Structure 1
Amino acid sequence: MTYEEFADSRLAALLRYAVMLTGDPHLAQDLVQETMVRVQLNWRRVDRADSPERYVRRMLTNQFVDWRRGSWVRRVLLRAEPEELAVPTDHAQTTADRDQLWSQLARLPRRQRAALVLRYYEDLPDAEIAEVLGCAVGTVRSAISRALATLRAELVEAC
């Protein structure tokens, strides 16, 4: 497989994953662009990996974790984009709930947030999440457990 074939087939999925990590479609585009530049520069190594997609997802996750350490990213406000709903509901409440969730996710430590996204958005098992994050399976379970406990506590506190 060539770099171009890989980029054509996986770019949209990587962008969706990055949006879930960052909470901002524009920042996600920047993250994917920078990651894909690195992928292209190291394509021979990526292509030799057992699963190039997993390798690139790990690169993207690591890039996200490193980016969040920069001071300019901390100034980005996370806001959800309203999406079309099939059933008429209270749009103001739906948007407020979505914004609250993005805000709570943004306050989680980077690895916990990445673990939640990989589990509940990417639907990956613990072993693959551990591989992407470069840690043990037990660490993944602990990170997810702590993240969910934090979100639950904030939800109870808000009510």
Structure 2
Amino acid sequence: MKRTATFVAAGALAVAAFAAPQATAAPHQGGVHFGTLQFDGPGPDLPRTNAKLNAEYVDLHNNTRSAFKLNGYKVKTASGYVYTFGSFTLGAGKTVRLRNGQGNNTVNNVYRKKDNFWFNNDKGSVTLIAPNGSKKDSCAWKANGRGYTTCH
């Protein structure tokens, strides 16, 4: 009888573990958060071209009902690369894609205007930092065979 009780208890624990709720992302501060992050664009990195550089990007989404001024906000990688937004307003409910290479800024895409890759293909993180230095959001990744991750 003791053996049966042990198996029943172990089975109940296994069911409870599978039924536990999944972890959720931290609440978004300031209404702006990271979305999709393409850390390893399709195909080989070399030869380096502007198209391959621009295939690395991170989306920033405004989940509020008001426009959000990103002026002075920074996107910083764990390896120390930084992009600072100039005068830019992200519309309510809108997304802007921060691309790595060269291009002309629009309401949908802004460009880091660099000629080097800024995301590591194996692992890394990005942080959104307000002009006052406070951390507003972050996203980390590890190589996953797809080359991208969804931050939230």
TM range (shorter): under 0.3
- Identify the structure with the greater strand proportion: 2
Higher CA-based Rg: 2
TM-score by length of 2: 0.21
- Quick one: higher RCO (CA 8 Å, sep 6+), 1 or 2? 2
- Identify the structure with the greater helix proportion: 1
